[in-house]
Amino acid sequence: MTQASIVARRTTSSAPAKIVVALNINGQQRELEVAPWTTLLDALRDHLGLTGTKKGCDHGQCGACTVLVDGRRINSCLALAVMKDGAEVVTIEGLSTSDALHPLQQAFIDHDAFQCGYCTPGQICSAAGLIAEGKATSPAEIRELMSGNICRCGAYPNIVAAIQQAMRQS
Amino acid sequence: MINFQFARAHDVADAVRMIATDPTAKFIAGGTNLIDLMKEDVERPSRLIDISRLPLKTVEETAAGGVRIGALVPNSDLAYHPLIEQNYPLLSSAILAGASQQLRNMASTGGNLLQRTRCSYFYDTATPCNKRKPGTGCSAIGGINRGHAILGTSESCIATHPSDMCVALAALDARVHVAGPESTRTIAFNDFHRLPENTPQIDTTLHSNEIITAVELPAKGFKANYSYLKIRDRLSYAFALVSIAAALDLEGETIKEARVALGGVAHKPWRDMDAEAELRGRTPSEATFTRAADLLLRNAKSYGDNAFKIDLARRGIVRTLTQAARATPQSQSDKKIR
């Protein structure tokens, strides 16, 4: 992506120009105009109305904001939307491409892998990234590579079981 | 978060030009530390220069038999790169001991070197901090300093460098390639981070108009006898209280060469050439490793809450060297310390 793709538009105030960002969100091409300091998380929730992705700590410590960007799991609270121009983003809303639940969503239900559910979209997107990476096989490896997702209800044993089920299906 | 201008650099020369014209601008790559510090009002750049699309994303073998790691290689890609896994498993292990997979996917190699301390007073803008606001004093000295440094401290600052990756890079004698407006240069890893002295606001010897382009590793990777042991308050996703990177070159029962670097104990990854010299020519044993540990910690100083770190480091050094000598490196997923 070159500088030419960044179209800076002056707003009426003296604030820095808003910037047009093109993102492929859950398979749909979207264009939005954001201030430079808008995080990907805020762009998803406040600009695109995709509130499935949750804001927990907003400092990269809890993992509730985890989404897949170009196939990799990241903390969307620490990513600037302007820096992701041209990227493909998958959120919990787009994880399943059909009317059926994604295998991870079904596995989380089957294993009762949540209580309050606030961390769940981040857990599931993170688990999707984990499965795609293919580095975890044992429960210990799953726990270690899921440690960026905190569950304050403590559903961890069931989360690991759900991920193992989805892994067997993938 | 504060308001700021945004620009994107096309190439390294462009990036260096842009930073030279605006002393209040900052480079941004992964953003995992800088965005956090901007949300906390600790960093207040007027402009961010996006360097994340510069072509510095390859890991290549060098003519000298080592590897050259582009500054923008994500931490996760580096940890799992075949050249690193096979020839520098100490580096892979240290990277995987740090942060979370999400953060490692975002964080860059160069950015890892430039991350700032996690001292809670540095983050708390309501308290004095010489690193954040020079001349205001150090709140950690006499404050809550359980996580703070025991080596190389000054009256101005007892903050630690938080990186795991850098501890391994220090042990492996990496070199940092940087580019400035006039020329390029390389900096020995041990000279890259600095001690706080009376200017703790300066973390490294990188000039403000320079950019890291690569980190180079020499051929010697210590792949047979190494271990990275990280001791922390929870089993994963926490900064080190003490971490140890140990690497041995064994010839039969004799140590030909030894490297030990410590994390979580100083303003920079801590090495001690006297301790490493003490190990050379010896046979691996608890007594030998304890002597090296005592040398490494001979100037260790407690600030109260962090007194426990001195014993923890001593025992950790002996344990990690033992793991390295036995060729049973610490696993980063099975947390049992053997």
Give the domain CATH number at B16: 3.30.43.10
Residue B307 located in a structural domain: yes
Amino acid code (one letter) for B288: T
Q: Which residues of B touch A141 (CB under 8 A)?
A: 333
Is B8 within 8 Å of A37 when comparing Cβ atoms? no
Judged by a CB distance cut-off of 8 A, whether residue B49 touches chain A is: no
Q: Mind listing the pLDDT tens digit of every residue in chain B (338 residues)?
A: 889 999 999 999 999 999 999 989 999 999 999 999 999 999 999 999 999 999 999 999 999 999 999 999 999 999 999 999 999 999 999 999 999 999 999 999 999 999 999 999 999 999 999 999 999 999 999 999 999 999 999 999 999 999 999 999 999 999 999 999 999 999 999 999 999 999 999 999 999 999 999 999 999 999 999 999 999 999 999 999 999 999 999 999 999 999 999 999 999 999 999 999 999 999 999 999 999 999 999 999 999 999 999 999 999 999 999 999 999 999 999 888 98
Task: Note down the domain range covering B257.
Answer: 226-325
Give the fold, CATH level 3, of A3-94. Ubiquitin-like (UB roll) (3.10.20)
Of A5-19, A152-166, B208-222, minimum mean pLDDT range: A5-19
Q: Contacts from A10-17 at CB under 8 Å and sequence distance 24+?
A: A15/B3, A16/B3, A16/B4, A16/B5, A16/B6
The token pair at B276 is 């490493």
Could A135 and B8 be called an inter-chain contact, meaning their C-beta atoms sit closer than 8 Å?
Answer: no
Residue B149 maps to a domain: no
Inside any domain, residue B317: yes
* Residue-by-residue DSSP string for B248-292: EEEETTEEEEEEEEEESSSSS-EE-HHHHHHHTTPPP-HHHHHHH
CA atoms of B109 and B68, how far apart (whole Å): 11
User: In total, how many domains does chain B have?
Assistant: 2
Judged against a pLDDT cut of 80, whether residue A11 lies above it is answered with no
Of B52, B69, B91, which residue sits at a domain end?
B52
Q: Give the length of chain B.
A: 338
Residues in chain A within 8 Å Cβ distance of B36: 59-60, 78
Closest CA to B157 of B145, B167, B166: B145
- Do the domains at A3-94 and A103-169 have one common CATH topology? no
8 Å CB contact of B52 and A83: yes
Given an 8 Å threshold on Cβ–Cβ distance, is B237 in contact with A147? Answer: yes
Inter-residue contact B301 to B291 (CB < 8 Å): no
User: pLDDT value at position A10?
Assistant: 39
H or E element that contains B121: helix B120-123
Q: Would you kindly state where each structural domain of chain A is located, as residue ranges?
A: 3-94, 103-169
Q: Is residue B278 part of a domain?
A: yes
Restricting to B residues 211-250, those with a Cβ less than 8 Å away from any Cβ of A are 235-237
In three-state secondary structure terms, B308 is helix
> Nearest-CA distance from B256 to chain A in Å?
34
CATH number belonging to domain A103-169: 1.10.150.120
Residues 6+ away with beta carbon under 8 Å from A129:
A66, A68, A71, A72, A73, B101, B102, B105
pLDDT interval class at A170 (50, 70, 90): confident
Could you please report the per-residue DSSP string of B309-323?
A: HHHHHHHHHHHHHHH
Q: Which of B37, B52, B67 is the last residue of a domain?
A: B52
Tens digits of per-residue pLDDT, A86-143? 999 999 999 999 999 999 999 999 999 999 999 999 999 999 999 999 999 999 999 9
CA dihedral B78, B84, B86, B87 (to 10 degrees): -170
Choosing from B22, B37, B52, the residue where a domain stops is: B52
Q: Which candidate in A39, A53, A74 is best for mutational testing of the B interface (most B CBs within 10 A)?
A: A74
SS3 B199: coil
Q: Is residue B258 part of a domain?
A: yes
Q: What is the CATH number of the domain that holds B281?
A: 3.30.390.50
State the pLDDT confidence band at A15, using cuts at 50, 70 and 90: low
Q: How confident is the model at residue A34 (pLDDT cuts 50, 70, 90)?
A: very high
Whole-number Å distance between alpha carbons of B305 and B320 = 24
Residue B131 and residue B201 in contact, taking contact as beta carbons nearer than 8 Å: yes
The beta-carbon neighbor of B101 closest among A37, A140, A148 is A148
- What's the residue count for chain A? 170
Query: Do B102 and A144 count as a contact with CB atoms less than 8 A apart?
Result: no
Distance from CA of A26 to the nearest CA of B (A): 19
Query: Given B28, B53, B333, which is nearest A144 (Cβ)?
Result: B333
CB pairs under 8 A between A and B: 98
Q: CA–CA distance from A75 to each of A120, B30, B72, B173, B301 (Å)?
A: 14, 11, 18, 32, 37
Question: Residue B265, Cα to own-chain centre: how many angstroms?
Answer: 11
Q: How far apart are CA B51 and CA B26, in angstroms?
A: 10
